[in-house]
Each structure stands twice: as structure tokens, then as C-alpha cells.
Structure 1
Amino acid sequence: MNAPTRGYWCECWTQDIRSRELPDLKASFDACSAPQADRWIAVALRTISPALGAEASDEAWEWLHNGRAATRRALLRMQPCTVTITQAHTRITWTIRPVAFLPLADRQGIQLPACAHAFSPQATD
């Protein structure tokens, strides 16, 4: 069986800061490298920045120009990172965490455990 692969788990959360509701997961992404992980946030910020208010747009561009390098360095040291901007009453938070991706079981050429044969595919209409 293959060994786990190092990578990064990325998420984007939003939260209405006026309410006590829990944050809402909007997107997640599995990145294979630190550059791929921070690029995910950079693309999102560049995409939404024209629709942001002046203050939130400044926060986004501040990270793009100054914070991104620090984020990349931290990720290369396998440290988790968070980027947050606030637009009106909405807080948008991107998180990146180092993870070990476990390989999926290969059904070809190996003996599967007995429980693997206990389930049959459902018929579709």
C-alpha cells in the first residue's frame, strides 16, 4: 500500500458577524503544494476584490502584496494559515492546514477485507 502524501486542506468560511450563527463552509480544496494552496486564496481574492467595499478591497490587496509571501513561508514550514477579510457584515475566512492524505484502497490485485464484499451496488432507475 502507498504511503500517505503530504498536502494541504483549504477551506473558505463565511460568517454574519451580526448574528451568533456558526460560520458556513462555502468551499474546500485539496492542494498538493504550498504554492497551489496560497494560489487558491489569491485567485479568490482577485476574483471578488472588484465587488468588495474600499476597506475590504484594501485588506485583500494588502494580503496579495504583503501577506502572501509570509503565508507561503509558513506553509512550507508545514504551519497552518488563515486569511480573513470583512465585507460589510460578512467575515470571509480562508484556512490552509497541512495534512497527510491517505491513499485510497486499490481494488485491483489485492485481497480486500471480507466486509468489502458485503455491499452490492444499488440498481439505478
Structure 2
Amino acid sequence: MTGLSRGYWCECWTEDLTDATERPPTLHGSFDAYSAPQADRWVAVALRTITPALDPDACDEAWAWLHEGRADTRRALLRSEPCTVTISHGSTRITWTIRPALFLPLAHREAAELPSCAHDFKPHATVSSPR
């Protein structure tokens, strides 16, 4: 596993529960966390940010996770188990997922030479409009 880093892949999805067309959930954000505290903090910050806009039941769900569920989530992440945090606001279900992941570092481009084909491309010529 040379060069690989352990971490967590985090995503935030929403789903319209009243949509008759049964559209798939919509991805709204993703985050690569390099520790369990960083991963659950991403969810906690999002929940704290949106709680003022949530209906009372969803707000209660959010604060329940922040006060009680977060510790369970952190323990599960430390055991390399995937976790899900879900709240329902009206007809919308909001789900945060956190999964253990292995990250492969990208090559650093400053010291690397571009492949020879990179020099085959010419800048786009600007076309002027006829007068």
C-alpha cells in the first residue's frame, strides 16, 4: 500500500420523497477526510449550519445526532465501518454518508515534464465578427 492514505469519503445527498417520477437522489457535496474526527466534523458543521432553516422535527433529529449519535458515528468510523446520518425535512430526506477509503496521491505537476502530445495543441484563434 505504498503511497496510499487511509481516510473517509463523505457525501451529502438529498431525495424528494414526494417526487412521482422517482428521480434518483441528488449529490450536493463531497469531502475527503483524513481522520474520523474530520469526517464527523464535516457532517456536524453542515447540520449546525442548516438547523435554523429546518422544521421542528428535523431540527430535533439534527440535534439528537449532534448530542448523542455523533459519538456512535465516531466509534464506528474508528472501526472502519461506513456510517449514515439522515434527517427528513418536510418532503426532503437529507443523507450524509461516510465510508472508509484509500486515497492515492496525485502526481505533483511542477517537477514533471508534460507528455509530448501536450505541445501538439495550439491556442484557439479568436474569430472576429464580419463588419
TM-score by length of 1: 0.87
Structure 2 counterparts to residues 5-44 of structure 1, below 5 A: 5-19=5-19, 20-44=22-46
- The unaligned stretches of length 5 or more in structure 1 are none
| Mapping of residues 101-116 of structure 1, within 5 Å | 101-107=103-109, 108=111, 116=115
1:92 to 85, 94, 98: 94
* CA distance in structure 2 between the aligned counterparts of 1:6 and 1:70, rounded to whole angstroms: 20
SS at match of 1:104: coil
The structure with more radius of gyration: 2
Query: What RMSD, in angstroms, separates the aligned Cα atoms of the two structures?
Result: 2.1
- Please state how far the C-alpha of 1:18 moved relative to its aligned partner: 1.0
Query: In the alignment, what sits opposite 1:59?
Result: 61
* 1:103 to partner: Cα distance: 1.4
1:81 to 2:83 alignment: yes
TM-score under structure 2 normalisation?
0.83
Alpha-carbon displacement from aligned partner over 1:8-65 (angstroms, at most 9, x marks no partner): 1110000101121100000111111100000000011111111111100000001001
Structure 1 CA distance, aligned partners of 2:4 and 2:122? 31
Among the aligned pairs, what percent are the same residue? Answer: 61
CA distance, structure 1, for counterparts of residue 47 and residue 32 of structure 2: 18
Give me the whole-angstrom Cα distance separating, in 1, the residues matched to 2:68 and 2:100: 22
Letter in 2 for 1:29: F
**Which consecutive aligned stretches of 4+ in structure 1 deviate over 4 angstroms post-superposition?**
none
CA gap of 1:9–1:122, structure 2 versus 1, over 3 A, is farther
Unaligned runs of 5+ residues in structure 2 are: 127-131
CA distance in 2, matches of 1:11, 1:122: 38
Q: Please tell me the residue identity of whatever aligns with 1:119.
A: A
Aligned length: 120
